[in-house]
């Protein structure tokens, strides 16, 4: 199974509540949780691909850590969506998430849940990125994978920084701060690994 097949699932929200979610903070929290679950799932897909193809042990160890950390956070965020907002998740194929073709003279834009722009989850872009990774192997794959994950982590940092000024639940604020701390450290680690791989080459 290739990473392209594995990435054919991303999440969309299925709201179970009878009424719309009230308040700007509530809507912001739901959007953040939905988008971060999708974002984490993409990281898991990347990390699982890495475990099959990466050559450097340092890269494989990082992938294992990402899977452990972000799997736990996905479960936590699903639980909060249900407990706080009675929102569940239903899968949707990546092809269904593709934006419609623009009308004559118009422009098609990609939007996430409720019209919120998604940082890096444009399906066409993601599929193109992984198609490129699938053509690489050895050290070239390791470096390209690290560079892609650095970009992916950077998006998570921006998402987490934005929610800090909007969230109302202390647990969510703590998670956002934890994501900022952990993924900033992982970005620094990945930059170091890239330098080492380039030096060894």
**34 with 77: CB under 8 angstroms?**
no
DSSP strands (E only) in 32-104: 87-93
| Cα distance between residue 39 and residue 177, in whole Å | 16
**32 with 118: CB under 8 angstroms?**
no
Interval 165-188 mean pLDDT:
98
Q: Is the pLDDT of residue 102 over 60?
A: no
Interval 144-169 mean pLDDT:
97
| Domains delineated in the chain | 3-96+115-200 (1.20.1260.10)
| Cα distance between residue 195 and residue 183, in whole Å | 18
**113 with 32: CB under 8 angstroms?**
no
pLDDT number for residue 183: 98
DSSP strands (E only) in 45-198: 87-93
SS3 state at 177: helix
pLDDT-derived band at 117 (thresholds 50, 70, 90) equals very low
- For all residues of the chain together, what is the average pLDDT? 81
Dump pLDDT digits (tens) for 125-156: 777 777 888 899 999 999 999 999 999 999 99
């Amino acid at each position: 199974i290739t990473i392209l097949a594995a990435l054919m699932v991303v999440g969309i929200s299925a709201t179970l509540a009878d009424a719309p979610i009230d308040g700007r903070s509530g809507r912001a929290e739901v959007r953040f949780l939905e988008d971060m679950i999708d974002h984490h799932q993409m990281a898991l897909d990347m990390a699982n691909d890495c475990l099959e193809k990466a050559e450097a042990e340092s890269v494989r160890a990082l992938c294992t850590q990402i899977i452990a950390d972000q799997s736990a956070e996905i479960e936590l965020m699903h639980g909060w969506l249900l407990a706080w907002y009675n929102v569940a998740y239903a899968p949707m194929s990546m092809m269904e998430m593709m934006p419609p073709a623009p009308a004559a003279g118009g422009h098609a834009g990609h939007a996430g849940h409720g019209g919120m722009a998604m940082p890096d989850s444009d399906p066409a872009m993601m599929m193109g990125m992984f198609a490129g990774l699938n053509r690489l192997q050895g050290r070239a794959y390791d470096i390209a994978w690290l560079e892609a994950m650095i970009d992916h982590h950077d998006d998570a940092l921006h998402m987490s920084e934005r929610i800090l000024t909007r969230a109302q639940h202390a647990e969510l604020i703590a998670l956002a701060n934890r994501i900022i701390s952990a993924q900033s450290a992982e970005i620094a680690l990945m930059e170091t690994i890239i330098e080492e791989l380039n030096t060894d080459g």
